[in-house]
């Protein structure tokens, strides 16, 4: 193949368009990776509606990771103590299907689990749902999106009656006031931030509010930075709403005609006068009033949030109280306004459409809804009642299922739970107990491969054809433009092959991913995420397409679509719902033994657990080491100086980092990046410290906050070992 290929960046949910050309195009210098291999040249696709040709360092360097440390052949071993031996696909798939058959007889389908990824293309997601939820009859498919944005999903469903971010990126350039809460957009969604920042700089009247305990690059650019105490988001949101009510900045017509539950919400607000809120949040009354004034005086307010809101034991309530502000001011369904969740992974949105969490089904359907199950069973050609009415195991429930012995087969694909799950020592201990773990990935080694019995080599982005949906509901075709290494296969092909071997030949008789996508879109008909007007052929011909898009609909790529422009919502009465909730604060608040709150986050250059970016020298040089940010007020009494090694201890584990003493972090809070697993540094795993307590609605763990103490390493005496606290908060398996 010699022509350039238009595709999508496979890193984050911004979803930037890329234009990729082969290593040796005539008239071009050949780019080479650090080991001298020719690499594909990547630049931004100017025609892509979401990114207009912009890319960040991750997108720009993606091709450097494609040939490094690839898993090329299936491997197996009988126990974790043995080395892997190369096997044929036949042997590997026979081992998996034999194990499945045995479990179906001895323990039932619920002993089988799959943990997938927002790195999947929609076709991979869809076939995995059909295999697990349809043919095997267990809803035990969950994805790493559970750790990322499941609170946004449940917040949208509870407030609007359906999942689906109502906004689009064009709103970044049309808003009067951007309210960024729990998102370091400048580093984690850089191209979205570029678009917003340009608009903000050009228009002096446009306001930007950033809510974050850290003074991040995003906060530096704001007109108002509210460095609230971790866990006080709902107090702040209710405090802003209190002032909007008091000052008469609410849209009574919208509230009367388009919403329900306002009286209960206004009753809750009585408890949030400015003095109380400012004191709880640790901010000044003046700053709180400024935030409310910016909201109240703006015609179009756009809220943006990501993991800082979602990764919380009250994540759904936080999302709903952001939405409350939009409902009370009528800031939805119009240009420049709305509650906009920014997804972390490149195709977490496609995963939501395809039913890629343990409580949902394709086409924004719910496992618990009998009509939804019936519709899916019919299209899949399965008998009535085949799909279980019970939500399956979440990511964390799979870990506890290994602890109790209920899980007999764990299949992990395109994700790295041995770094990214909470309470990592407990997670690793559970993985060690797994009787049979299949790990399917493009790379080797990874931390999770250490716990696998079978390794399956996966073709990754660039080596298979499929689609991905970004945060603004734009679907882009990612065509294959290079060959997979060795015997690597597309994820969906592996799942389909297992399905056929289990006897579901008709259900998995797809010739290519084009056919898979065509079948999937049939399940979106008359749903909010309708995509029947989208196909591989149309994407190839027109470029990216935003949903909803019905069959036969003409496509105008220049025209961005918003949801709820007629102010009717997919609830039984067409009204959006207010939430009335009092914050419970953090699941594990600081106390005298563990006096600080640890918050975790991402850095500009790295992606998640470094499976790709750790193999790119330019990015390693940009972020060579993990670190801990400590406020001078917390560092001084402990005698901690810049660059001194600090041991961070929580009730569950410890990690060590060099100190960065900075006023950018609020006193009482410390920050560590979450990118370093055991492969990349010793004892620098942020999740060795975090806990698995989760939001009761979204079941998303509170990865953003736990109680810790600091011990300067220089003061630790020889032989002194870290011991988990006797007062373990969460010692028994959780049923979140």
Tokens at residue 382, please?
């399965």
Give counts: helices (H), strands (E), the chain. Answer: 24, 28
Residue 635 touching ligand SF4 (CB under 6 A):
no
Residue 9 touching ligand SF4 (CB under 6 A):
yes
Return the number of the residue (149 or 234) whose C-beta is nearest ligand SF4. 149
Residue 307 touching ligand SF4 (CB under 6 A):
no
Residue 146 touching ligand SF4 (CB under 6 A):
no
- For tokens 């809120």, what's the residue? 277
**232 vs 489: CA distance, rounded Å:** 46
Residue 350 touching ligand SF4 (CB under 6 A):
no
Among 55, 112, 226, 414, binds ligand SF4 (CB under 6 A): 55
Residue 469 and residue 534 in contact, taking contact as beta carbons nearer than 8 Å = no
Residue 15 touching ligand SF4 (CB under 6 A):
yes
Length of the chain: 736
Residue 634 and residue 598 in contact, taking contact as beta carbons nearer than 8 Å = no
Among 6, 12, 213, 382, binds ligand SF4 (CB under 6 A): 12
Minimum CB separation of residue 193 from ligand SF4 in Å reads 9
Residue 16 touching ligand SF4 (CB under 6 A):
yes
Residue 406 and residue 153 in contact, taking contact as beta carbons nearer than 8 Å = no
Which stretch, 9-17, 245-253, 295-303, 676-684, contacts ligand SF4 (CB under 6 A)? Answer: 9-17
Q: How far apart are the first and last CA of the chain?
A: 50
Which stretch, 50-58, 472-480, 586-594, 661-669, contacts ligand SF4 (CB under 6 A)? Answer: 50-58
Return the number of the residue (56 or 597) whose C-beta is nearest ligand SF4. 56
Of residues 57-96, those binding ligand SF4 (CB under 6 A): 58-59
Residue 537 and residue 465 in contact, taking contact as beta carbons nearer than 8 Å = no
Of residues 191-230, those binding ligand SF4 (CB under 6 A): 191
Which stretch, 52-60, 106-114, 449-457, 666-674, contacts ligand SF4 (CB under 6 A)? Answer: 52-60
Residue 56 touching ligand SF4 (CB under 6 A):
yes
Which helix (DSSP H) or strand (DSSP E) does residue 97 occupy? helix 89-106
Residue 20 touching ligand SF4 (CB under 6 A):
no
Which stretch, 54-62, 375-383, 490-498, 609-617, contacts ligand SF4 (CB under 6 A)? Answer: 54-62
Return the number of the residue (18 or 131) whose C-beta is nearest ligand SF4. 18
Residue 380 and residue 507 in contact, taking contact as beta carbons nearer than 8 Å = yes
- Sign of the CA dihedral running 284, 286, 287, 288: positive
Angle 354-357-362 from CA coordinates, rounded to 5°: 25
Return the number of the residue (190 or 274) whose C-beta is nearest ligand SF4. 190
Residue 348 touching ligand SF4 (CB under 6 A):
no
Residue 190 touching ligand SF4 (CB under 6 A):
yes
The phi-psi region of residue 67 (left if phi > 0; otherwise alpha if psi is between -120 and 50; otherwise beta) is: alpha
Residue 563 touching ligand SF4 (CB under 6 A):
no
Residue 410 touching ligand SF4 (CB under 6 A):
no
Beta-carbon neighbour count of residue 57 at 10 Å?
16
Peptide bond into 718 cis (omega under 30): no
Residue in 503, 535, 505, 540 with CA at minimum distance from that of residue 522: 535
Residue 596 touching ligand SF4 (CB under 6 A):
no
Residue 138 and residue 103 in contact, taking contact as beta carbons nearer than 8 Å = no
Tokens at residue 576, please?
């959006």
Residue 326 and residue 357 in contact, taking contact as beta carbons nearer than 8 Å = no
Return the number of the residue (60 or 678) whose C-beta is nearest ligand SF4. 60
Q: With contacts defined by CB under 6 A, how many residues of the chain interact with ligand SF4?
A: 12
Site residues, ligand SF4 (CB under 6 A): 9, 11-12, 14-16, 55-56, 58-59, 190-191
């Amino acid at each position: 193949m010699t022509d350039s290929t238009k595709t999508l960046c496979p890193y984050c949910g911004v979803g930037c368009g890329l234009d990729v050309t082969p290593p040796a195009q005539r008239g071009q210098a050949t780019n080479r990776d650090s080991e001298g291999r020719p690499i594909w040249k990547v630049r931004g696709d100017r025609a892509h509606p979401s990114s207009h040709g912009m890319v960040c360092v991750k997108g720009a360097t993606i091709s450097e990771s494609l040939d490094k440390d690839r898993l090329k052949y299936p491997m197996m071993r009988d126990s974790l103590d043995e080395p892997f031996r190369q096997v044929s696909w036949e042997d590997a798939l026979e081992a998996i299907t034999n194990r499945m058959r045995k479990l179906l007889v001895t323990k039932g389908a619920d002993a089988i689990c799959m943990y997938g990824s927002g790195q999947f293309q929609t076709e991979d997601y869809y076939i995995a749902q059909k295999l697990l939820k349809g043919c095997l009859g267990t809803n035990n498919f969950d994805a790493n999106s559970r750790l990322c944005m499941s609170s946004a999903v449940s917040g949208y469903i509870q407030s609007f009656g359906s999942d689906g971010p109502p906004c689009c990126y064009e709103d970044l350039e049309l808003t009067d006031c951007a309210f960024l809460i729990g998102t370091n957009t400048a580093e984690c969604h850089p191209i979205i931030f570029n678009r917003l920042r340009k608009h903000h700089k050009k228009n002096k009247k446009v306001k930007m509010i950033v809510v974050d305990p850290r003074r991040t690059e995003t906060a530096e650019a704001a007109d108002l930075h509210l460095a609230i105490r971790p866990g006080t988001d709902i107090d702040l949101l209710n405090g802003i709403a209190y002032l909007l009510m008091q000052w008469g900045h609410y849209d009574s017509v919208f509230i009367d005609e388009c919403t329900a539950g306002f009286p209960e919400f206004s009753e809750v607000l009585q408890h949030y006068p400015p003095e109380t809120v400012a004191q709880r949040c640790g901010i000044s009354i003046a700053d709180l009033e400024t935030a409310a004034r910016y909201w109240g005086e703006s015609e179009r307010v756009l809220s943006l949030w990501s993991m800082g809101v979602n990764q919380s034991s009250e994540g759904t309530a936080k999302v709903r109280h952001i939405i409350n502000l939009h409902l009370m001011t009528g800031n939805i369904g119009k240009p420049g306004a709305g509650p906009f969740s920014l997804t972390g992974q490149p195709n977490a949105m496609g995963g939501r459409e395809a039913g890629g969490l343990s409580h949902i089904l394709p086409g924004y359907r719910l496992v618990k809804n009998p009509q939804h199950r019936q519709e899916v069973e019919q299209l899949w050609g399965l008998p009535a009642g085949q799909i279980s009415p019970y939500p399956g195991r979440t990511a964390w429930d799979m870990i506890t299922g290994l602890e109790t012995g209920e899980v007999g087969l764990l299949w992990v694909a395109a994700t790295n739970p041995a770094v990214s799950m909470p309470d990592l020592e407990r997670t690793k201990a559970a993985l060690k107990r797994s009787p049979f773990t299949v790990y399917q990935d493009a790379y080797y080694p990874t931390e999770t491969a250490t716990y696998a019995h079978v390794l399956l080599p996966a073709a990754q982005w660039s080596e298979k054809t499929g689609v991905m949906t970004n945060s603004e509901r734009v679907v882009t075709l990612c065509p294959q433009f290079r060959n997979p290494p060795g015997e690597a296969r597309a994820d969906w092909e592996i799942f389909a092959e297992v399905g056929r071997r289990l006897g579901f030949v008709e259900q998995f008789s797809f010739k290519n991913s084009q056919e898979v996508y065509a079948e999937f879109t049939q399940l979106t008909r008359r749903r909010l995420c309708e995509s029947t007007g989208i196909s591989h052929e149309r994407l190839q011909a027109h470029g990216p397409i935003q949903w909803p898009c019905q069959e036969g609909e003409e496509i105008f790529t220049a025209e961005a679509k918003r949801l709820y422009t007629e102010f009717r919502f997919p609830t039984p009465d067409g009204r959006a719902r207010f939430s009335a909730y009092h914050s419970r604060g953090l699941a594990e608040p600081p106390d005298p033994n563990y006096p600080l709150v640890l918050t975790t986050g991402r850095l500009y250059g790295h992606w998640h657990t470094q499976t790709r970016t750790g193999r790119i020298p330019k990015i390693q040089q940009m972020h060579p080491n993990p670190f801990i940010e400590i406020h001078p007020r917390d560092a001084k009494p402990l005698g901690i100086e810049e660059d001194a090694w600090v041991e961070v201890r929580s009730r569950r584990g410890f990690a060590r980092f060099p100190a960065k003493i900075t006023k950018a972090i609020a006193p009482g809070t410390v920050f560590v990046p979450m990118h370093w697993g055991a492969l990349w540094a010793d004892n620098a795993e942020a999740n060795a410290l975090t806990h698995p307590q989760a939001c009761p609605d979204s079941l998303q763990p509170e990865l953003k906050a736990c109680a810790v103490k600091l011990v300067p390493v220089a003061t630790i005496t020889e032989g002194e070992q870290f011991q988990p606290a006797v007062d373990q908060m969460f010692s028994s398996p959780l049923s979140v």
